[in-house]
A and B are shown apart, each in its own frame.
Chain A
Amino acid sequence: MAEPFLSIQHVRKSFGPTTVVQDFNLDVEPGEFVSFLGPSGCGKTTVLRMVAGFEEPSAGKIVVAGKDITRLKPNQRNVGMVFQAYALFPNLTVAQNIGFGLKVAGMPKADADRRVAEMLDLIKLPQMGDRYPYQLSGGQQQRIALARAIAPKPKLLLLDEPLSALDAKVRVSLREEIRSIQKRLGITTIFVTHDQEEALSISDRIAVMYSGKAEQVGTPFEIYNRPATKFVANFVGTLNVLEGTVTDAASGKVRVNTQEVALKGKLNGSKTGDKLSLALRPEAISLGRHPGRDSSLSGEIAEVHFLGSVIRVRVGIGGSTVSLDTFNSPAAPPPAVGEKAEISFSSGDMLVLH
């Protein structure tokens, strides 16, 4: 593993008596794109602001490229930041906005102009240099905010929910644009979001946060398929949770409602009689029996939603309902509500949440 470029070590932040971030640790490699994902109020912005220098950690330290920057002022850190609310300077043109950091740094005007033009090309708004921010759409303003942040070639790029004020279509296209620019420039980036799809689709790694702590740090694939805690499992993706009771810890048998499933090797440490939450992703469940899926439960079709290529079916099993998706097939009409149905899955896909 390469030397981390950004290292956040045992960082804590309290405002008066309330601790908002506790023992936060994260190493980010050079050129990596890491997302902070978590519900509103979990401390994502606070961690980002400590990296930017707007808040001082109550404890712990932040190291960038081997240098402790914990006590540096924001204007000494050479960090780029994009804010949720665009924050373009309303009195300056687009070109002056992008050139602001260059001018402050004392770059000669000719060089600065060249760099601004380069940035305008990068964000695909080459004609917009003379416009004022109020003449632009939200998506354009946010691209300019991005160009302004990266124009001075910062060591780190921080983005705090940069897409949440935009409408859905722009949000998707802009997040891909941000990712491709980030890859091209190879700039180490932290991206804050509360939108799990956003985080899953563009990150190298995700730090899932909950009440001031990093619950799990991992690749999108790991976070989605092997959530470490109940919170992560629930927050990332759709999850079907079934309550079960261990009937035979030795052979791994668990009773769900009145039926039994075998979960060999998954119960680590549970005793007979323990209550467990079992979780399954919708795509891990099929309707009917299938070869290769070793477990099954029977129930009754509760709801059918025809969504076009996908049909989302909800099956009642005892007191709980599970969602699953099947592909539309012109030859076979979807099941009807009230029919008896059997669902099958591999016990290996079952997540046991403690």
Chain B
Amino acid sequence: MKSGRFWAWVVFALGAAYFFIPLIATVEFSMRMRRGVYSFDAYEVVLGDPRFQATFGYSVLAAVFTIILGVLIVVPTAYWIRLRLPQLRPVVEFITLLPLVIPAIVIVFGYIRMYGSNSPLPFLASDTGTNALLVIGYATLALPYMYRAVDTGLRTIDVRTLTEAAQILGAGWGTIITRVILPNVLIAVLSGAFLTFAIVLGEFTMASLLNRPAFGPYLQNIGANRAYEPAALAIIAFAITWACMSLIQILSRFAPRSANRPN
């Protein structure tokens, strides 16, 4: 028993070291911009850079639209598959996995060929169209995570009986989805949204090839040309991620109390 505990601690320590040492090293390095003393100079430079503010704002906005689009597509689809077409679930699951298998670069080249300015759907002819195409592309990239999260959430409730209970009380599909299904999978949707947010903030390929002023290309640009600032940016990105996770923890307290606690 004793030695079992000992080895458990050893494994834990190794895991923690693997995780924390690079992080600590990055923090340490990011603070050495001023010779001889630790300082937050690198952070000041990064946060004060107008390109940081612009690209970060752009990506956050793109993430918000991506999440909205993802929820609008995934929640009704996953719900309908569970309710009426359970035999199609393996097929849909496979389709949602495709973005993990097909590289983003292939998708984006496809987009450029399909939606060029002389195609019937000229998304790329205007800035707004290109932004929309980027959001659509992001929604595709986030699909595996969003679908899995929502589907797991739906598993915790009896979708069919709750739907029928609402129907017999006079509810139509809109009411059923917004008042019965969505509130009960809210936590799942939030975790899907969080993952989407993280993916969009760090995404490089699509934004770069569609030539959008997003955070990913900015990160790459700084990383290639500066010494201390990339480390500071990495730490900032990490802090944002952690903030998102804490936010979800807090939000889940306000979510329907019994949603994930069936008796």
Residues of A within 8 A of B (CB): 52-54, 73-75, 77-81, 83, 85, 87-92, 100-101, 104-105, 132-134, 148-149, 152
Q: Are A74 and B168 in contact (CB under 8 A)?
A: yes
Residues in B whose Cβ lies below 8 Å from that of A105: 170
Interface flag for B128 (CB, 8 Å): no
The docked-state distance in angstroms from the alpha carbon of A87 to that of B168 is 12
The docked-state distance in angstroms from the alpha carbon of A75 to that of B175 is 12
Q: Are B261 and A75 in contact (CB under 8 A)?
A: no
Residues in B whose Cβ lies below 8 Å from that of A89: 162, 165-166, 179-180, 184
B256 is contacted by which of A54, A88, A90 (Cβ under 8 Å)? Answer: A90
Specify which of B161, B167, B256, B259 lies most central, judged by the most chain A CB atoms within 10 Å of its CB. Answer: B167
Residues in A whose Cβ lies below 8 Å from that of B158: 85, 87
Residues in B whose Cβ lies below 8 Å from that of A152: 169-170
Residues in B whose Cβ lies below 8 Å from that of A132: 257-258
The docked-state distance in angstroms from the alpha carbon of A193 to that of B166 is 23
Q: Are B168 and A91 in contact (CB under 8 A)?
A: no
The docked-state distance in angstroms from the alpha carbon of A81 to that of B170 is 11
Residues in A whose Cβ lies below 8 Å from that of B180: 89, 91
Residues in B whose Cβ lies below 8 Å from that of A52: 164, 168
Q: Are A83 and B169 in contact (CB under 8 A)?
A: no
Q: Are B169 and A134 in contact (CB under 8 A)?
A: no
Q: Are A133 and B165 in contact (CB under 8 A)?
A: no
Interface flag for B244 (CB, 8 Å): no
Residues in B whose Cβ lies below 8 Å from that of A77: 168
Q: Which residue of A lies closest to B168 (CB)?
A: A81
10 CB contacts below 8 A, A to B, read A54-B167, A75-B169, A83-B164, A87-B158, A87-B164, A89-B166, A91-B183, A91-B257, A100-B169, A134-B258
Interface flag for B172 (CB, 8 Å): yes
Q: Are A134 and B262 in contact (CB under 8 A)?
A: yes
The docked-state distance in angstroms from the alpha carbon of A148 to that of B66 is 38
**How many B residues are at the interface, by size bracket?**
20 to 34
Residues in B whose Cβ lies below 8 Å from that of A75: 167-172
Q: Which residue of B lies closest to A52 (CB)?
A: B168
B258 is contacted by which of A79, A91, A104 (Cβ under 8 Å)? Answer: A91
Interface flag for B112 (CB, 8 Å): no
The docked-state distance in angstroms from the alpha carbon of A149 to that of B259 is 22
Interface flag for B157 (CB, 8 Å): yes
The docked-state distance in angstroms from the alpha carbon of A223 to that of B251 is 58
Nearest-Cβ distance from residue B166 to partner chain A, whole angstroms = 7
The docked-state distance in angstroms from the alpha carbon of A77 to that of B257 is 32
Q: Are B157 and A90 in contact (CB under 8 A)?
A: yes
The docked-state distance in angstroms from the alpha carbon of A132 to that of B263 is 12
Q: Are A87 and B161 in contact (CB under 8 A)?
A: yes
Residues in B whose Cβ lies below 8 Å from that of A91: 180, 183-184, 256-259
The docked-state distance in angstroms from the alpha carbon of A87 to that of B167 is 12
Residues in B whose Cβ lies below 8 Å from that of A85: 158, 161
The docked-state distance in angstroms from the alpha carbon of A73 to that of B163 is 13
Give the 8 A-B residue pairs with the shortest CB-CB distance, closest first: A91-B256, A101-B169, A134-B258, A90-B258, A91-B183, A87-B165, A87-B161, A74-B167
The docked-state distance in angstroms from the alpha carbon of A88 to that of B183 is 14
Nearest-Cβ distance from residue B163 to partner chain A, whole angstroms = 9
Nearest-Cβ distance from residue B77 to partner chain A, whole angstroms = 21
Nearest-Cβ distance from residue A154 to partner chain B, whole angstroms = 9
Q: Are A81 and B259 in contact (CB under 8 A)?
A: no
B residues 195-247 with Cβ under 8 Å of A? none
Given contacts A85-B158, A87-B158, contact A104 B169 (CB under 8 A): yes
The docked-state distance in angstroms from the alpha carbon of A80 to that of B169 is 7
Residues in A whose Cβ lies below 8 Å from that of B164: 52, 54, 74, 81, 83, 87
Specify which of B166, B183, B261 lies most central, judged by the most chain A CB atoms within 10 Å of its CB. Answer: B166
- Binary CB contact string for chain B from 135 to 172 against chain A (1 if under 8 A, 0 otherwise): 00000000000000000000001100110111111111
The docked-state distance in angstroms from the alpha carbon of A52 to that of B165 is 11
Residues in B whose Cβ lies below 8 Å from that of A73: 167
- Binary CB contact string for chain B from 92 to 114 against chain A (1 if under 8 A, 0 otherwise): 00000000000000000000000
The docked-state distance in angstroms from the alpha carbon of A44 to that of B167 is 20
The docked-state distance in angstroms from the alpha carbon of A149 to that of B168 is 9
Nearest-Cβ distance from residue B164 to partner chain A, whole angstroms = 6
Specify which of A80, A87, A89, A132 lies most central, judged by the most chain B CB atoms within 10 Å of its CB. Answer: A89
Question: Given contacts A75-B168, A77-B168, A87-B158, could you give 14 more A-B pairs where the C-beta distance is less than 8 Å?
Answer: A52-B168, A53-B168, A74-B164, A81-B165, A83-B161, A87-B161, A87-B162, A88-B165, A90-B258, A90-B261, A90-B262, A91-B183, A134-B263, A149-B168
